[in-house]
Amino acid sequence: MKTYIVLLRGINVSGKNKLPMAALREVLNKLGFQNVQTYIQSGNVIVNSNLSKEEVADSIKNGISSQFGYDVPVMVRTIEEWEKAISNNPYPIDNHKIVSFTFLSGVPKEKSIEVNITNDDVYTIVDDMVYMYCPDGFGSTKLTNNLFEKKLNVRATSRNYRTTMKLLEMAKA
């Protein structure tokens, strides 16, 4: 049985796509996933399954659609892929509050995009990840999931450094 880290895009954001984590855990348990854990309210899930990554994503996507009526993008990573994503981060983590990981649904063709950045924000695309370093914080950055989705033609969901590390800790426990 493999452990997967699952990221849901666009739930519990500004009152839209409300999805209580207890109800999500119940649905995932009914779908046959084992050791289901959630972390905070923004769509972070750890599951164990004998299914492939693609089957896990499809099952969860379909389960959420059936139970809640939401069409939610679902991204699934193994522990090894998660560790690789963390180790490929090119930015210093001395102030981890300004580092973010954007997980992509696939490897984009583009390795850089044109963005009208007016501050010191920077990003780096590596494989199916975008790493962001935003010295002024994420509240004012132009580097958003919607921007990356539009420019890279993939789905994207971001997690801050602390959440990324916590999900790895939970998956390995």
Looking at residue 45, which CATH number applies to its domain? 3.30.70.1280
pLDDT for 14 equals 62
Same structural domain, 27 and 39 = yes
Give residue 45's pLDDT. 97
User: Of 16, 49, 79, which closes a domain?
Assistant: 79
Assess whether 105 and 156 both reside in one domain. yes
Pair (69, 101) in one structural domain: no
Residues 43 and 17 in one domain: yes
User: Which of 46, 63, 79 is the C-terminal boundary of a domain?
Assistant: 79
| Nearest C-alpha neighbor of 19 from the set 67, 76, 57, 74 | 67
Reading phi first (left if > 0) and then psi (alpha if -120 to 50, else beta), residue 35 is in left
| Claim to verify: residue 23 and residue 60 sit in the same structural domain | yes
Are residues 167 and 88 part of one domain?
yes
Q: How far apart are CA 129 and CA 85, in angstroms?
A: 7
Q: Compute the half-sphere exposure of residue 133: CA atoms within 13 Å on the CB side of its CA.
A: 12
Report the predicted TM-score, pTM, of the whole model to 2 decimal places. 0.94
Regions of the chain with pLDDT less than 50? none
C-beta contacts of 10-17 below 8 A and 24+ residues apart? 10/43, 10/72, 10/73, 10/157, 11/42, 11/43, 11/70, 11/72, 12/41, 12/42, 12/43, 13/42, 17/68, 17/70, 17/72
Q: Which domain holds residue 107?
A: 83-172
What is the domain count for the chain?
A: 2
Asked whether residue 38 falls in the same domain as residue 96, the answer is no
Predicted confidence at residue 149, as pLDDT, reads 95
Asked which of 48, 79, 110 is the last residue of a domain, the reply is 79
Q: What is the pLDDT of residue 13?
A: 66
Same domain, 75 and 87: no
Residues 90 and 61 grouped into a single domain: no
Q: In what order do the strands lie in the sheet with 156-160?
A: 122-126, 129-133, 99-104, 156-160
Same domain, 149 and 161: yes
The structure tokens 């050791």 sit at 35
For residue 3, give the H/E element and its range: strand 2-8
Give the pLDDT score at 94.
84
